[in-house]
Amino acid sequence: MSEPSGVGIVLGTLEKFVDWSRRSSLWPATFGLACCAIEMMATGASRFDLSRFGMEVFRASPRQADLMIVAGRVSQKMAPVLRQIYDQMPDPKWVISMGACASCGGVFNNYALVQGVDQIVPVDMYVPGCPPRPEMLIDGIMRLHDDILAGKYRPRIQGSKRVTI
């Protein structure tokens, strides 16, 4: 065997490397509230395999997670809990609203349910459907990966305070 000739040089910025590492190791916090949670759990199973994106373990502690997937309808009583868990997550953090109920209240237009989780926390990606298939959630995660790699989250973070767009 011969030794390779020349020295390999990697060029890039530290920001690009940090964005790549954030994209490649999102740790989701589960917030499954209804039938969409079953599809979210199926996404983590062997058939769809989220571990190929570095997301094999759903975190039970918000302090270990940087992605919240809100799956299902959010009641008025659950809204403060959702906000508290979101506030406990370290920055930078992202939110995916999964399903019609989480995104806009779905077919439930009454006083007991929040008409869109974006009234409580800033949402980065909406995944439509009732319930959305695991492939749709994976597509939403991949689109969020593209946004993270492009650095689209940086303008929203000012110091330790997150600014809603």
Question: pLDDT tens for residues 40-78?
Answer: 888 877 777 777 777 777 777 888 888 898 988 888 898
With respect to residue 81, please indicate whether it lies within any of the assigned structural domains.
Answer: yes
pLDDT at 1 over 60: no
Sign of the CA dihedral 54, 49, 57, 69?
positive
With respect to residue 75, please indicate whether it lies within any of the assigned structural domains.
Answer: yes
With respect to residue 9, please indicate whether it lies within any of the assigned structural domains.
Answer: no
With respect to residue 30, please indicate whether it lies within any of the assigned structural domains.
Answer: yes
With respect to residue 161, please indicate whether it lies within any of the assigned structural domains.
Answer: no
131 token code pair:
């319930």
Cα–Cα distances (Å) from 43 to 16, 138, 156, in that order, read: 28, 7, 29
- Number of structural domains, the chain? 1
pTM: 0.79
Q: What is the average pLDDT score of the chain?
A: 80
Q: Which CATH number covers residue 74?
A: 3.40.50.12280
pLDDT at 110 over 80: yes
Sign of the CA dihedral 59, 65, 69, 74?
positive
With respect to residue 8, please indicate whether it lies within any of the assigned structural domains.
Answer: no
pLDDT band for 162, please (50, 70, 90 cuts). very low
Range of the domain at 110: 14-154
Q: Scanning the structure block, which residue is given the tokens 């499954």?
A: 32
